[in-house]
Amino acid sequence: MRSEKINLGEKDKKNWQQIKKAIKSKKPLIHQISNYVSANDSANITLNWGALPVMASAPEEAAEIVESASALLINLGTLNQERLQAIYKAAQKANQLKIPIILDPVGVGGSDFRSRAAFKILEEFQLTIIKGNRAEIAFLAGEKAELKGVEAVGEYKDLDIAAQKLAQKQNCLVVVSSRVDILAAKNDIFYSEWGSDLMGKIVGTGCMLGTTLAVFAAVEREIELFEKIKTALVYYGFAGQKAALQAQTPAKFKREFMDTIYQFAHN
Which positions lie near a second copy, rule CB under 8 A?
27, 29, 31, 35-41, 43-44, 47-48, 52-58, 60-61, 64-65, 68-69, 77-82, 107, 110-114, 147-151, 153, 201-204, 249-252, 254-256, 258-259, 262-263
177 is in an annotated binding site: yes
55 is in an annotated binding site: yes
Minimum separation from the CB atom of position 217 to a second copy (A) = 17
Q: How far is CA 175 from the centre of its chain?
A: 8
If the CB atoms of residues 107 and 132 are measured against a second copy, the closer one turns out to be 107
Minimum separation from the CB atom of position 167 to a second copy (A) = 28
If the CB atoms of residues 113 and 226 are measured against a second copy, the closer one turns out to be 113
If the CB atoms of residues 7 and 267 are measured against a second copy, the closer one turns out to be 267
How far apart are the C-alpha atoms of 202 and 100, rounded to whole Å?
A: 28
Minimum separation from the CB atom of position 267 to a second copy (A) = 10
Q: Please compute, for residue 238, the number of CA atoms within 13 A of its CA located in the half-sphere on the CB side.
A: 18
If the CB atoms of residues 12 and 256 are measured against a second copy, the closer one turns out to be 256
If the CB atoms of residues 110 and 240 are measured against a second copy, the closer one turns out to be 110
If the CB atoms of residues 14 and 252 are measured against a second copy, the closer one turns out to be 252
Long-range contacts at 189-194 (CB < 8 A, ≥ 24 apart): 189/160, 189/163, 189/164, 190/226, 190/230, 190/233, 191/160, 192/230, 192/233, 192/234, 192/237, 193/2, 193/3, 193/5, 193/237, 194/3, 194/233, 194/234, 194/236, 194/237, 194/238, 194/240, 194/241
Minimum separation from the CB atom of position 218 to a second copy (A) = 12
Evaluated on CA atoms 248, 194, 228, 169, the torsion sign reads negative
Minimum separation from the CB atom of position 11 to a second copy (A) = 27
**Residues ≥6 apart with Cβ < 8 Å to 92:** 63, 124, 125
Q: Are 188 and 163 in contact (CB under 8 A)?
A: no
H-assigned helices in 193-224: 205-217
Minimum separation from the CB atom of position 23 to a second copy (A) = 13
How far apart are the C-alpha atoms of 141 and 175, rounded to whole Å?
A: 12
204 is in an annotated binding site: yes
The annotation places the binding site for ATP at 131, 177
The annotation places the binding site for substrate at 55, 204
The annotation places the binding site at 55, 131, 177, 204
